[in-house]
Amino acid sequence: METNNTPLLLHSSKAEEEAKPEQPVVTRYWNDFSDESNRLWRIAGPAIFTAICQYSLGALTQTFAGLLSDVDLAAVAVENSVIAGFAFGFMLGMGSALETLCGQAFGAGQINMLGVYMQRSWVILLTTACLLIPVYIYSPPLLVLVGQSEEISQAAGKFAIWMIPQLFAYAVNFPIQKFLQAQRKLAVMAWVSAIVLVIHAFFSWLLIMKLKWGLVGAAITLNGSWWLVVLGQFIYIVYTKCDGAWSGFSWLAFTNLWGFIKLSLASAVMLCLEFWYLMLLIVITGRLDNPLIPVDAVSICMNIQGWDAMIAIGFNAAISVRVSNELGAGNARLAKVAVVVVSTTCMAIGVVCFAIVLATRDYFPYLFTTSEPVAKETTRLAIMLAFTVLLNGLQPVLSGVAVGAGWQTLVAYINIGSYYLVGLPLGILFGFTFGFGAEGIWGGMLGGICLQTIILIGVTSARNWAKEAEEAENRVKRWGGSAAEKH
């Protein structure tokens, strides 16, 4: 079996610690915190940059569509947030099974299994993409069902059909990204995403504005950009072999698929329940009497929250990599240190973002609207937005810990209870029954996020990390041991 020196560093950390002279407790904890913070930022920095670049692809397309007409803007916005958002959440969740398996296999030194895991995920996600095609084809009646107007639903449905190639780009891209993240090869993802974003901006202007191709040009550019991301990353993998993690296509990709499907589905349910939760805020707000102003205000707040979420996604990826690598290497103590460091770091960032939102709540709405009623409603909702970005500092990180450790099924049950049995009913109760409107809806749903965060803190704190390391070792043997020997 091929090996790599990189994961051996994880194993050697135990021996190095034993060889070090005894240090004062405070000094040892500070050194651990400093070293782990270093490792964390080397992963989180490029991951945040990549997330922002890829988020900007759809945002730029939406901006150019807004220069065409109100209907075109609505078509792209609804397709991006509802249709593609639904597919994005589900495919990202399915692909997140690789964060557990690739990360722990890398930490355990079974490098050559990473490529096999990625190919298994391709098989499952490409099949899932085929099953999701009807959502795109029949999106107009589905959009009408959730409260969109007939005109917008028809326009968004037409654009959705043109965007089916993006669905298959998601299916190939997410496994590639988890494969590279597990090996901490995030710089290539950042470079590819940055280059594609520049290309995307130029061709969006050329096709949509200069050549007047309208939404057809928007679809060509957005589809093409996502496939360029996939192609750039795959060329890197094939050319470098990723230090033995990629050795070509293998029939092992079709073995043990059922177990892989179960873990993928658990990951998908866990992430989708989170990803779709705040999306429901706009849908439910649209059911209020005279919903235009509150829907516009919530949309502005969700735009701010979306950019803030890119930071959370970067740290989510970083802690998932750190926990899975260390547990795979049998380093239970370092896995626990990683959780403490990332939680502290992200809470500090969350507090800063909380303060910025509150300090600018009378001003930032005017960056998005010239309507005085919408701006005032946005200012009122800014308090809810502030608490949401504060929780963004910790909640996604705890989900990343769960993915890295392989607790997807447990967290899926926690999400169902916290979000959909508590938060959603509370939001409807406060918003409609008690008449608090958009603030009541958001406040109730925020209660669900608080409950989920508290439960995850308890679960993470109560875990026996030495036992988690043993479970990771057993998982690596169960999923890759025998196959790796045959490879």
- pLDDT tens by residue, 309-339: 888 888 878 887 888 778 877 787 888 888 8
pLDDT score for 220:
95
% of the chain residues with pLDDT over 90:
27
Least confident of 312-321, 335-344, 452-461: 312-321
Question: Could you tell me which of 142, 183, 100 has the C-alpha nearest to residue 478?
Answer: 100
Residue range 448-464: average pLDDT? 87
Q: Ranked by mean pLDDT, which of 51-60, 147-156, 397-406, 472-481 comes out on top?
A: 51-60
List Cα–Cα distances, 203 to 209, 215, 257, 404, in angstroms. Answer: 9, 13, 40, 38
Residue range 425-450: average pLDDT? 90
pLDDT score for 1:
38
Q: CA 407 to CA 116: how far, in whole Å?
A: 22
Q: Ranked by mean pLDDT, which of 45-49, 96-100, 294-298 comes out on top?
A: 45-49
pLDDT score for 249:
82
**DSSP SS3 for 210:** helix
Give 451's Cβ-side CA count (13 Å radius): 20
pTM for this entry:
0.76
Cα first-last separation, the chain: 8
At 112, give phi and psi (nearest 5°): -70, -10
Residues 6+ away with beta carbon under 8 Å from 453: 391, 394, 395, 398
**DSSP SS3 for 245:** coil
Between residues 163 and 303, which one has the greater pLDDT? 163
Residues 6+ away with beta carbon under 8 Å from 435: none
- pLDDT tens by residue, 1-36: 334 444 444 444 444 444 455 666 667 777 778 888
For the chain, give every domain's residue range: 31-486
pLDDT at 472 exceeding the cut of 80? no
Question: Could you tell me which of 229, 254, 292 has the C-alpha nearest to residue 74?
Answer: 292
Question: Could you tell me which of 307, 295, 485 has the C-alpha nearest to residue 377?
Answer: 295
Question: Could you tell me which of 443, 449, 454 has the C-alpha nearest to residue 382?
Answer: 443
Question: Are the C-beta atoms of residues 139 and 152 closer than 8 Å to each other?
Answer: no
In the 8-state DSSP scheme, what is residue 431?
Answer: I
- pLDDT tens by residue, 357-374: 999 999 988 877 778 888
DSSP string, 142-207: HHHHTT--HHHHHHHHHHHHHTHHHHHHHHHHHHHHHHHHHTT-HHHHHHHHHHHHHHHHHHHIII
Residues 6+ away with beta carbon under 8 Å from 9: none
* Cα 425–Cα 430–Cα 433 angle in degrees, nearest 5: 95
pLDDT score for 23:
60
pLDDT score for 477:
66
What tokens appear for 366 in the block?
A: 């005017």
